[in-house]
Amino acid sequence: MSAFRTPSGFEEALRPPVDIRRARLTPAVLGKAPSKAPDAGRGQLMRVVRGAPEVMVKITGRTRDGGHLGRHLDYISRNGALALEGPDGERLIGREAVRTLAGDWAAELALEPRRREDSPASLSVVLSMPAGTEPYRLHDAARAFAAATFGDRFAYVFALHDEGRHPHVHLTVRMLGRDGERLSPRKADLQAWREGFARTLRERGVEAEATPRRARGVVRKADPIAIRKLRERSMAGGADMPRVLAAAWREAVEGGTVSEPWRVPIRARQLAVRRAFVAEAVALQKSGDAEDRRFGEAIERFVRALPEVETRRDLLRRRIEAARETPSRQRDEGPAPRGRAR
């Protein structure tokens, strides 16, 4: 009999950074949360240890008015070349159909009572997985996710962008609901959406998870898209380096003892995560079940491979040290041999 049980430490390690009960939209749409299977904790832990790909559900923006909405729909439909799919399999093909949809949404928005001038028309969401996911499975999972999350309360359309390297789905949701409610998601909604999208992918045979960074040993947040694009342009010589990044490089070069009060709680949190995994690995390796023992060994290997806590300043300093060591190593080793050996 399996010795696995879900310890409190493991639950804490995988607990989302936000309270899911604070979600505004999702509980009302989905109703009662689906009850977890008895072995759900084991399955999630196994996926984490195996390094299951993490889903991305990202709000990329909001359209301001009918004109902005029309341009956005042109973009995600590739000017009508791609079909926009809505609820119940409705498909809009061609630029004229896309423009008609944008006009209809804008007209309904204009009739909204007590609407503020700056009220957005639609919410733009990107659903994606790491490269290698089959596009048709991603598309089908997005279809199921949109139907389960927004149902018939909020109109939506979506389109798959499959450039062959990194397929992803653009989902556009009208902010004004059919009952007059406005879509106003919180961080808790976004986490619920991540978990729901991962679940629909797994139901279609795609290994996927939606765990917090700390469970995977990741400390640094990914840079916002705008910052990443600026950094890439500056490194290519096409723009000045962002001031925040330039200041970070300057601090890393100059060294010093800049206070980093956030490092202590980060290390404490990561230590708690490691302890939870180690405790489970030890318990499973004492089990009389061979499969449990192999699972415990896999958890142990996973913990040993977790990266050290590294802030952005740590990363920049490591890059600087590596750059300094390269010339000195070349001097010690002497010039590279030239010509063919005789």
- Global confidence as pTM: 0.73
Domain count, the chain: 2
Q: How far apart are CA 108 and CA 99, in angstroms?
A: 14
pLDDT recorded at residue 332? 58
Q: Examine the pLDDT at 234 and tell me if it is beyond 90.
A: no
Same domain, 90 and 196: yes
Same domain, 192 and 264: no
Measured CA to CA in angstroms, residue 298 lies from 51, 293, 307, 312 at distances of 11, 9, 16, 29
- Residues 311-337: tens digit of each pLDDT: 666 667 777 777 777 665 555 555 544
- Residues 175-218: tens digit of each pLDDT: 988 888 888 888 888 888 999 999 999 999 999 998 877 777 66
In a domain? residue 216 = no
Note down the domain range covering 235: 225-326
Instruction: Specify the higher pLDDT residue, 166 or 55.
Output: 55
Greatest mean pLDDT range, 57-71, 219-233, 271-285, 316-330: 57-71
In a domain? residue 82 = yes
pLDDT recorded at residue 180? 81
Greatest mean pLDDT range, 27-36, 84-93, 274-283: 84-93
Same domain, 199 and 305: no
- Residues 78-125: tens digit of each pLDDT: 999 999 999 988 899 999 999 999 999 988 877 776 666 678 889 999
Mean per-residue pLDDT for 52-63? 93
Same domain, 149 and 236: no
Mean pLDDT of the chain: 78
Taking Cα atoms as reference points, which of 141, 145, 159, 153 lies closest to residue 193? 145
Taking Cα atoms as reference points, which of 97, 92, 119, 96 lies closest to residue 108? 119
Same domain, 36 and 114: yes
Greatest mean pLDDT range, 117-131, 134-148, 171-185: 134-148
Which two structure tokens, joined as six digits, stand for 108? Answer: 């309904």
Q: How far apart are CA 237 and CA 85, in angstroms?
A: 40
Q: Quick one: 307 exposed, middle or buried, by C-beta within 10 A (0-12, 13-18, 19+)?
A: exposed
Same domain, 86 and 192: yes
pLDDT recorded at residue 247? 67
pLDDT recorded at residue 32? 43
Q: Is 302 helix (H, G, I), strand (E, B) or coil?
A: helix
Strand order in the sheet with 168-174: 56-63, 122-128, 168-174, 156-161, 84-85, 91-92
Instruction: Specify the higher pLDDT residue, 150 or 6.
Output: 150
Same domain, 168 and 34: yes
In a domain? residue 331 = no
pLDDT recorded at residue 231? 60
Percent of the chain's residues with pLDDT above 90: 35
Q: Examine the pLDDT at 29 and tell me if it is beyond 50.
A: no
